[in-house]
Amino acid sequence: TAPGGTHPSQAQGIYVFKMNPNDGGLTLLQVAKIANPSYLALDPGFRHLYCVNEMTAGAVSSFAISQTNGQLSFINTVPTNGQDTTHLSVQPSGQYLFAASYTSGNFQVFQIDGDGSIGNMTDNFQSVGNGTGPNPARQEGPHAH
């Protein structure tokens, strides 16, 4: 989300800041342009950043993190085959990326390649059942996140 908490559809991408440890001030370093970034996750070595592209046709994207200045370099974006992908997590070994798609109610598993790019989808699990919970008027089906 952009500085000041703007709505994600108004944000231009991922905002990278440098923090001054003396006064807590922030300096904008970069805006890594990407469509509707939402949830973020880092690999265990802090060399790659992953984000969900929270749109009807869900996707996840990867970036390399410069070890000298912290700036992001885009690597790739892959579709999740889910709607409104909202959450992701990197497996502790750094070999797999897990994603959850809210509207379609499915979970995806992607291989993470050696260069940090998001590789092949290895699994796609669909939630089954009605998933309505205690308030069916509010939730018509399973919402993964």
pTM of this structure = 0.83
Tell me the pLDDT tens digit for each residue of 15-35: 999 999 999 999 999 999 999
Quote the CA–CA distance of 12 and 10 in Å, as a whole number. 7
Distance of CA 117 to the CA centre of its chain: 13
Quote the CA–CA distance of 26 and 87 in Å, as a whole number. 26
Tell me the pLDDT tens digit for each residue of 64-81: 999 999 999 999 999 999
Instruction: State the pLDDT confidence band at 5, using cuts at 50, 70 and 90.
Output: very low
Q: Where are the domains of the chain?
A: 34-126
Residue type for 64, please?
Answer: A
Phi and psi, residue 128, nearest 5° = -115, 165
